[in-house]
Amino acid sequence: MTAETTATRCRVEGLRVCLELADGRFVSFPAAKYPLLADAPQNLLEKVKLRLNGLALRWEELDEDILVDDAVCGRFPRPKALVA
């Protein structure tokens, strides 16, 4: 991973997870791209924290971890129907 994929801030706006990256870019992605986040109540969705020095996002109460690099590069989990 590189500095470009390190987040310095994160927040949730509506149903989108918004990241500010170390290189100054701002990116966001729909929470619905991740099964555990898709059905999460707003109050739990908003409890996102940066972990691993900005390399990962963590939702403790939802037991969800997402690598910043995966989200920035659009590497989202495949729907279960397509995995089989």
Binning pLDDT at 50, 70 and 90, where does residue 78 land? confident
Fold held by 3-83: NE0471 N-terminal domain-like (3.30.2020)
Give the integer Cα–Cα distance in Å for 61 and 33.
18
**Where exactly are the structural domains of the chain?**
3-83
* CA 11 and chain centroid, separation: 9
Cβ 37 vs Cβ 62: under 8 Å: yes
Give the integer Cα–Cα distance in Å for 81 and 84.
6
This prediction's pTM: 0.86
Give the integer Cα–Cα distance in Å for 82 and 78.
6
> Residue 84 corresponds to which amino acid?
A
Q: What is the pLDDT of residues 1-29, one digit of tens each?
A: 444 589 999 999 999 999 999 999 999 99
Give the integer Cα–Cα distance in Å for 14 and 70.
21
Q: What is the pLDDT of residues 16-68, one digit of tens each?
A: 999 999 999 999 999 999 999 999 999 999 999 999 999 999 999 999 999 99
**Average pLDDT across the chain, whole number:** 91
